[in-house]
Amino acid sequence: MSVLKPTLSTTPRATARLQFHKGFTLDDAAKIVPYLSALGISHLYASPILKARAGSTHGYDIVDHHEINPELGGLPSLRRLVAVLRHHAMGLLLDIVPNHMGVGGADNHWWLDVLEFGPASMFANFFDINWHPADPNLTGKLLAPFLGAAYGDVLESGDLKLRLDKETGRLYFDYFEHYFPLSPRSAALVLRGVEGAADISRAFANAARMRHPAVESEKAKEALKNFAATHMPALEEIFVRFTAPRALHELLQRQHYRLAWWRTASDEINWRRFFDINTLAGLRVELPKVFNATHGFLLGLYAEGLIDGVRIDHIDGLADPRAYARKLRRAMAEAGMARPPEAAQGMPYIVVEKILAPWERLDRNWQTDGTTGYDFMDQVAAVLHNPEGEAPLSRLWENLTGRPAAFAAEEEPARRQILRDNLASELHSLAAQLHHAAQREFHTRDYTLSAIRRGLREILVHFPVYRLYAGQAGGSAVDAQMLERAIAGARRSYRPADVGIFDLLRKWLLTEPPRALPPNARRADRLRSMVSFQQLSAPTAAKSVEDTAFYRYGRLLSRNEVGSSPGQFALSPAGFHNLMAARRRSFPGALLATATHDHKRGEDTRLRLAVLSEIPDEWERMVTRWTRLNNLIREQAGPDMADELMLYQMLVAGWPLGLEAKDASSIDAYGNRVMEWLRKAMREAKRHSEWAAPNETYEAAAKRFLFHCLDAARPVLDEIVSFSRRIGPAGAMNGLAQTLIRLTAPGVPDLYQGTEYWDQSFVDPDNRRPVNFTARIASLSKPLPDIADWQDGRLKQGIIGRALNLRAQCPEIFAAGRYEKLTARGQAASHVLAFRRSHAQGEIVTAVTRLAGKFDPGQPKLAEHVWGRTSLTIGAGEWEDVLTGERRSLRGSIRLAALFSCLPVALLRRV
């Protein structure tokens, strides 16, 4: 299949997301560019490619912002890839990570410099470190929670050793993969007893007294490196003295960091992390020098024409997302003035990773092209769910598990747990900042630290969105509305006598902005507190909702997806059309995603599960029978009924197409994949097990239960296979509907690697498995297979290729064309969703089958009698079905039995 090769633009027509790591490099990607071009992709969309921690499978743990990851092939490989892309008139989008860097280990030179020199390091304010926390023992220090056991146990174990780095002359503590440099003052102390090293000791001591000690310290380290070449035995003799725990402890006390067990971080950490991950430290890109240091190389890539746009990872982690996005656009536009003529032309393309509540809209003043598509992924899935299934599935979940039917009842305790167990230090630090402000004024000095902390906790527990976006001048009307909603919820769960705290917190967090205060320390402290609150509410939401409550609430797992609200069960066609029309008006260039590297379930796994919303009574009969049959194998140790019911959903939703019950080896492989999901689900839920303290007994019992379910000698396996086959065709219809809508709705369709075939994946790492591109390349040039041969995925690929080919032929219809909902008439009108895209360049109609599960189709196509005389009015004239090649002359409408005679979806073009 060939597509037109238009002039390359920075704004993509369609993207293909690839995950890079040492097993799939930039040169590997170059090999599949011709295939992606033939499929109809305009831009390759790359995961982070800057130098990350060695062996990183995702690239979000960047350790050097000035280098392409050598494991991916480095800059030469990037140039080769871009040359191939340009040959095929394709561009490159890059995932960038401004919020955080990988720390710990021995590979982040900025971080090691901070450990060595503390507040005097030239990188001390690159990271979001509180050098004056409430704990006086951490004044001028940062907590280094990288020990695998309690501090005292590590000192006594002998695992922490004093060493000399012979390449740099730096003294450091060696602890497995970690590298903790000594401060100049303590290096001087260590060397004081080494014969012949007195001058070096004094050099380190002098460096320690300087305001900027790095230069003098480098001279001392060079001298030590030369000294060690002939005096290493003497140094090693000194090192032995520091193997004693007491001596080691006293030396550690002199550092600019406090080594600690990793579990202390949740209570005592004094620097911002990405969520609660100790190996990812927050950056302060709001500072010009940090922005320049972290973006200079990227801007150079853009100026050279090697990249054409960016995806901003976790923009809600930044101090001021709006200011950052606008500054980045200005910087890229300025850098773009130097782009070579053969590079893609146009304004830089910028999208943001942003989780939006169902009622929330991205601010156009950010000057971005939109989001990465989580919002669309939610909307297109919701319109393919039957709202009539909500009540019976809610009853089933509540009756079988005893857990609440309402998602909010799971979310609130999850938020409380995360603030107590994972983000307690961040909450305490914010409360301490505000308590300090309260002590300055006589009319607020009686508000205690505990009262402020309790009030903040209640607001965060009830916070309806990820964060506010308030700054020096305060916030917007939307910010005020969101905070009021949170305060209203907090008041309902708070002691009536103490609700006055919320009036004060409202003022501090929003209504009395820093600009209203005198230009002194109070103004700076107020801004810092406001930002700290905003940077705490985002990880609170992410960790408690997506990473906890999503794994506790199992009414229907297809609605537990990144960007979705499980409390919203379905979306009406009218509601969907309204959202698409709004998308066309506000963000016509936003990405349209249905699968990502972060999804909880693959796009077709999710849509097979959606079939259960159509047949809740049938599903209830099956799981009730399975739970009864499995009474014989269920152990007291576990799993409980909530985990069991979620397991059944995943077994039938992810069951590989064509897998037979008698194929023992393949079933065993599938069981191992499911077990990886189940283990992660149990630990994320934090009910019976968790990452910090795995419950091996419960997990082992759950594993035995799973493999008993997959035992061919038991009746449950045959019934799972049979039921999966029962919902498979309807799930495939959902999947094709979702696919064609994504390819033709307002926005830029994004294809996640490999999902041009059926995507029955689970959460990561399952959704990052290697892709068989050889098979995909071979099948692309073949004719569209018959509907009877739907299971191998070639049908889905063929539809994608034909739709993307159409986008290449008439891009303006999709980039700027009007959006108009179309309404069917007749007995099955509710089972079709259709819309028109029109422009001076032409007119197309998309029509898809929806809610077909109750008809129990044997293949992904409804029988003619189901449609009856149902028709769709699209307009008189000649129309061609782009997918099948069939032409029709219409008087104005078409019977759906005819429209869907070959496929459950149709893409018509007026000819």
pLDDT > 70? residue 1: no
**For residues 333-351, average pLDDT:** 96
pTM value is 0.96
Pairing of strands 309-312, 170-175: unpaired
Tokens describing residue 867? 């449609």
- What average pLDDT does range 275-299 have in this prediction? 98
Cβ–Cβ under 8 Å, residues 13 and 28? no
The amino acid that residue 529 corresponds to is: S
Q: How many degrees, rounded to 5, is the angle at CA 704 between CA 684 and CA 404?
A: 40
Residues contacting residue 536 through CB under 8 Å, at least 6 positions apart:
423, 426, 427, 430, 460
Q: What's residue 727's pLDDT?
A: 98
Whether pLDDT at 349 is above 90: yes
pLDDT in tens, 539-574: 999 999 999 999 999 999 999 999 999 999 999 999
3-state secondary structure of 759: coil
Q: Which of 613, 656, 649, 905 is nearest to 759 (CA)?
A: 656
* pLDDT, position 6: 53
Contacts of 669 (CB under 8 A, 6+ apart): none
Residue range 806-856, pLDDT digits in tens: 999 999 999 999 999 999 999 999 999 999 999 999 999 999 999 999 999
281 - beta bridge partners?
A: 101, 273
Q: Name every residue whose Cβ is closer than 8 Å to that of residue 244 and which is 6 or more positions away in sequence.
A: none
Q: Which two tokens stand for residue 493?
A: 């769960």
φ, ψ for residue 342, nearest 5 deg: -80, -10
Q: H-type helices in 498-602, by residue range?
A: 501-506, 521-541, 573-586
Encode 659-678: b = buried (16+ Cβ within 10 Å), e = exposed. Answer: eeeeeeeebeebbebbbebb
Per the CB < 8 A criterion, the answer to whether 290 and 283 are in contact is: yes
The structure tokens 């075939």 sit at 757
The residues near 443 (Cβ < 8 Å, ≥ 6 apart) are none
pLDDT over 70 (residue 156) = yes
Amino acid (1-letter code) at residue 274: F
C-alpha distance from residue 191 to each of 172, 196, 401 (Å): 13, 9, 65
- Say yes or no to pLDDT of 268 above 50: yes
pLDDT of residue 4: 46
Is residue 740 within 8 Å of residue 709, measured between CB atoms?
no
Q: How many other β-carbons are positioned within 10 Å of the β-carbon of residue 893? A: 15
pLDDT tens, position by position, 221-247? 999 999 999 999 999 999 999 999 999
Residue 299 contacts residue 327 (beta carbons within 8 Å): no
Lowest mean pLDDT of 119-123, 517-521, 865-869, name the range: 517-521
In angstroms, rounded to a whole number, what is the distance separating the alpha carbons of residues 267 and 133? Answer: 12
Number of Cβ within a 10 Å radius of residue 869: 11
Q: What is the 3-state secondary structure (H, E, C) of 133-157?
A: CCCHHHCCCEEEEEECCCHHHHHHH
Q: Are 298 and 113 in contact (CB under 8 A)?
A: no
User: Of all residues in the chain, what percent carry a pLDDT higher than 90?
Assistant: 97
User: Token pair of 390, please?
Assistant: 């909500």
Which tokens hold the place of 160? 């922490």
* 3-state SS, residue 17: strand
Return d(Cα 757, Cα 769) in angstroms, integer. 14
Q: Which helix (H) or strand (E) holds 428?
A: helix 424-440
Q: Give the pLDDT score at 7.
A: 65
CA dist., res. 802 & res. 580, Å (int):
22
What amino acid occupies position 885?
G
pLDDT at 520: 84
759 in Cβ contact with 604 (< 8 Å): yes
Contacts of 178 (CB under 8 A, 6+ apart): 104, 105, 106, 146
Whole-angstrom Cα Rg for the chain: 30
HSE-up (13 A, CA, CB side) for residue 505? 28
Q: Report the alpha-carbon distance of residue 587 to residue 354 in Å, rounded.
A: 14
10 Å Cβ neighbour count for 902? 16
Task: For residue 293, give the 3-state DSSP assignment.
Answer: helix
Q: Please choose, from the candidates 537, 709, 748, the residue with its C-alpha nearest in 3D space to the C-alpha of residue 631.
A: 709
pLDDT, one tens digit per residue, over 771-781 is 999 999 999 99
pLDDT digits (tens, 9 = 90+) for 175-211: 999 999 999 999 999 999 899 999 999 999 999 999 8
> Using CA atoms, how far apart are residues 805 and 882, in angstroms rounded to an integer?
9
Q: Are 99 and 352 in contact (CB under 8 A)?
A: no
d(CA 568, CA 565): 6
Contacts of 539 (CB under 8 A, 6+ apart): 274, 275, 276, 317, 423, 426
The 10s digit of each residue's pLDDT in 35-74 is: 999 999 999 999 999 999 999 999 999 999 999 999 999 9
**What's the chain's average pLDDT?**
96
Task: Give SS3 for 810.
Answer: coil
Give the CA dihedral 831, 588, 542, 135, nearest 10 degrees. Answer: -170
Are 225 and 166 spatial neighbours (Cβ–Cβ below 8 Å)? Answer: yes
pLDDT at residue number 193: 82
Q: Between vectors from CA 614 to CA 612 and to CA 617, what angle results, nearest 5°?
A: 75
Spatial separation of the C-alpha atoms in residues 120 and 404, rounded to whole Å: 53
